[in-house]
Chain A
Amino acid sequence: MPAFRSLFLIAAMLSGALHAADLRVAVLVQDEAQVSPQGALVPSSTPRADLVAYTDELAREICRRIRSRCAVSYVTFGEILPGVEDGRFDLGFGNFLRVPKREKRVAFSEPIFRSASRLVGSPATARAFARKLGQAVRLDNLRGARVAAMEGSQQQAFLDAIAAERELTVVAAATTAGAFGALRNGSADFALLPIRTGYALISHDKPRRFGFVGPATADHGLGDTVHIILPKQKEKLRHALNQAIAEIRADGTGHRIMRRHFPVNLD
C-alpha cells in the first residue's frame, strides 16, 4: 500500500506540473451594481447589449485557450491598470486604448477590436447647445458644457486637456454607468463615452431619453485599437495571449461571443 500511495503522489505531482499557473484576471464592470457582495457578476437584465457579459466571456475563453485557471475579479476601470501594473492582476480586460502613457506602465496584447468615442446626451440638450453655439453640437466645437467621463479613461484625459480652453466642466465618475448617471440626474449635459459602452447604456435606458450627439471621433487618443493589458515582464504570457487572440479570431469564436452579447458584430 505505501508503494501504491507513493505512485499516486507522483502521478498527482506530475498532473499538477502539467497545469499552467493560475491567473488573476480583472474584468471591467460598467457599474458597481453589476457585482454581487460575494464578488460574482449579476446577470444583466438586457441580454443583447451587455459589455460586461461580453468581456467576461471573452476573458474566460482566452483563459481556456491559454490553458490557465483564471480567478476573475470584477472591478471598475480605474482599478485595472494600477492592479496590473503592481502585479495584483495578470490580465486586465478593460477595453484599453493603446496610448504611450499607458505603454510605459503595462504591456498590451494584440488588438481585440476597434473603438471610437462619441458624445451622449439628450436631444433636447443637444438642440439647446446647438442654438447657443450656432451650429450642431460636435465634440470639436462644444463649449461651456458639463461633460461626464469615466475616471482614468482617455475620454477624461482628453476633456481635462481641453476643459480650460473650451470652458468645459469635467464630471468624473468611477464607472461609465456613473458617467451616464450624471446625465440622468442632470449633473452633466453630455457624457463622452466609448461607442459600444455608449450604445449599451442608451439602449438599456428605458425612457430612451438619450442618444448619440454629433459625429464619433477616433482622433486625439479617443479611438483606435482596443487591447487586453498585462504586466510588462510577462513576455511568455503575452505571447500565449496573442496566440489565443489570433486563434479565436481565426476560428470565429471571437465573433460568436460578440454576437451573443451585441446585435451587431463590428471589426
Chain B
Amino acid sequence: MPPRPELYPANRAFALLAAAFALLFAFVVVVLAVDQERAREASERLQQQTVPKIIRFQRLARNLDQLRHEGELVFSSDTPEGRQQSLYLVMLVASHPSILEHPQAAAAAREMEAFLAETGRLATQDPAMLRVQQGEWQQLSRRLNLLVDDILVEGANLATADLGEVADAMRLTRYKLMGATILLGGFLLLLIILLRQHLLRPLRRIDRALSSLSVDRPAPEFPDARLAEIHAVEEATKRLHDALVSNDAARRELQLLANRDDLTGLMNRRHFMESATTELRRAQRYGRPTAVALGDLDFFKSLNDTYGHGAGDAVLRTFAELLTESLRQSDLVCRYGGEEFAFLFPESTVGQAHILVERFRERWAAQEIRLPDGLLVRATLSIGVADTSHCSIDVALQRADFALYEAKRLGRNRVVVAAEAG
C-alpha cells in the first residue's frame, strides 16, 4: 500500500494561499508604486526644473537676439545720438542676469559691448569707420546667432531628455503592469485549479457517494484527498455506509425474530397471514390458482402426556425440518397454533396441492422421531386442503379447517379436500 500523502487543514491551506496572494499583490503594488513614483518625479522635474530652465534658455536666446538687434542699430543709426542710444541699450541688455549667468553668453555679450563701444567712439571721430568695423561686426553677429541657436537646441535637448525619461518610465510601468496582470492572472488560475482539484471535485464525489449510498452497493471509494477536512468527510461517508449495512443486518435479524416461531423456526401465524394475504392478492389479480391447507398432528396431546413436553417439542422440530426439506421454496408454511400447521401453495390447483400434501403425509408417517430419551416414535398427520382462487385467506382456511375436521373424523392420517360449496 503506497504511503498516504500528507494532509493539510483547509483553513491553513487557504490562509497560506491568501497570504501568498496578499504578498504577491503587495509586491505588485510596491513595484508599480515605485515606477509611478519615478514617473511622477520625472514629470515633476520636467515641470519644476526643466520647463523653467527651457523658458530661461528661450529668454536668454531672445535677449541675445535683442542684443544683436541693438548692435545692428549702432551701425545703422545716422546720428551719434542714435548710436549712443543704441549703445546704451546694448549695455543694458548685456547686463541682464540671464546673460550674466551663462558664461558663453556673458563672454559674447562683453565682447560685443566692447566692440560696439569702440566702434561708437571711432565713428564719433570718423563716421567712415563704421564701414571699416562692419566686417568684424558681421562675424560677431554670426557667432552670436550661432550661440542663440546652440542655446535653443540646448533647451530643446533638455526637454527631449526629460520627456524621454518620462516616456521610459511610463513604458517600463506599462510592461510591469502587463507582467503583474499576467502574474496575478496566473495566480488566480492556479487558485481556481487548486480549488477545483482539492475542494470542488472531492465535494462532488462526496455528493455523488452520499446520493447513491445504499446497503445494496459497496462502500464508496475515494482517491486520496489532500485537505484534512475533505478526507474527514470521505471517511465519515464510508463509516455512514458501514453503519447503514450494519443497521440493515440488524433490521433483518429483528424481522426474522419477529416473524418466526421460536420452537420450529417456521413462520409464525401473524407473518404467514400477512404473506399469504399478499400472495393471494397477487394470484387473484392475475387469475392464478392457489390452494391452502391446514394440517394437525394426530394424537399429539397423548404423545405429550405420555412422553412429556420435551418429546412434544422434539416431534414438532422434526416435523418442521421435514417440512422445510419437502416443500417447494415458494410454498408458505407456518405453525398455526400448538400442533396445527397452515400451508399456502402458490401457482397450484387444489389437485396439485392435494398431491403435494399427500406425498408429505406419507413421508411424515414413515419418519422416525428420536425423542430426548432416545426412544424412536412415529406420528401421523391429518390435512384439510381448500381452493383459495376465488375467496379470502380466512374463508379458504376455514374451508380447509372443515376438511381437516373431516379427515380427523374419517380416522386421521389422511388428506381431505374441501368441497367447493363448503
What residues make up the interface of A, taking CB atoms closer than 8 Å to B? 114-116, 118, 195-196, 198-199, 202-203, 208, 211-212, 215-218, 223-224, 263-267
| Docked complex Cα distance between A218 and B95 (Å) | 9
Q: Which of A118, A208, A223, A263 has the most chain B CB atoms inside 10 A of its CB?
A: A263
CB-contact partner of A199 in B63, B88, B98, B101, under 8 A: B88
Closest to A263 in B: B89
The reply on B92 being an interface residue by CB < 8 A is yes
* 10 new A-B contacts at CB < 8 Å, known A114-B97, A115-B97, A267-B59: A116-B97, A118-B91, A199-B88, A199-B91, A199-B92, A211-B117, A215-B100, A215-B110, A266-B98, A267-B63
Please judge, given known A-B contacts A211-B91, A264-B92, A267-B59, whether A203 and B98 are in contact too, CB under 8 Å: no
Q: Which residues of A contact B91 (CB under 8 A)?
A: 118, 199, 211-212
Is the beta-carbon distance between B63 and A266 smaller than 8 angstroms? yes
Residues in B with CB closer than 8 Å to A208 are: 81, 84
Contact A195 B92 (CB under 8 A): yes
Name which residue of chain A comes closest to B67, CB basis.
A264
The answer, yes or no, to whether B74 is at the interface (CB within 8 Å) is: no
The 7 closest A-B pairs by CB, nearest first: A216-B95, A267-B59, A195-B95, A199-B92, A218-B97, A212-B91, A114-B97
Chain B residue numbers with a CB within 8 Å of A199 are 88-89, 91-92
Task: Render B91-131 as a binary contact track against A, CB cut-off 8 A, 1 for contact.
Answer: 11111111011000010001000000100000000000000
With contact pairs A208-B84, A266-B63, A267-B59 given, residues A196 and B92 touching in the complex (Cβ less than 8 Å)? yes
CA distance A263 to B179 in the complex (A): 60
Dominant SS among interface residues on chain A = mixed
Between-chain CB contacts (< 8 Å), 22 pairs? A114-B96, A114-B98, A116-B96, A116-B97, A118-B91, A196-B92, A199-B92, A203-B88, A211-B87, A212-B91, A212-B95, A215-B95, A215-B106, A216-B94, A216-B96, A218-B97, A264-B92, A266-B66, A266-B96, A267-B59, A267-B62, A267-B63
Contact A216 B100 (CB under 8 A): yes
- B: interface residue count bin: 20 to 34
* Chain B residues with CB below 8 A from A264, complex form: 66, 70, 89, 92-93
Using a CB–CB cutoff of 8 Å, the interface residues on chain B facing chain A are: 59, 62-63, 66, 70, 81, 84-85, 87-89, 91-98, 100-101, 106, 110, 117
Q: How far is the CA of A212 from the CA of B84 in the complex (A)?
A: 12
Q: How far is it, in angstroms, between the C-alpha of A64 and the C-alpha of B222 when the chains are bound?
A: 89
Of A224, A265, A266, the most chain B CB neighbours within 10 A belong to A266
How many angstroms from the CA of A223 to the CA of B96 in the assembled complex? 9
A116-B84 contact, Cβ under 8 Å, with A263-B89, A264-B70: no
Contacts of A116 in B (CB 8 A): 95-97, 100
Q: Bound state CA distance, A168 and B17, in angstroms?
A: 82
Q: Which residues of B contact A267 (CB under 8 A)?
A: 59, 62-63, 98
Knowing A215-B110, A267-B63, the reply to whether A224 touches B97 (Cβ < 8 A) is yes
State whether B89 touches A218 (Cβ < 8 A). Answer: no
Nearest-CB distance from A190 to chain B (Å)?
15
How far is it, in angstroms, between the C-alpha of A87 and the C-alpha of B81 when the chains are bound? Answer: 46
A215 to B91, CA, bound (A): 9
Nearest A residue to B66 by beta-carbon distance?
A264
Closest to A218 in B: B97
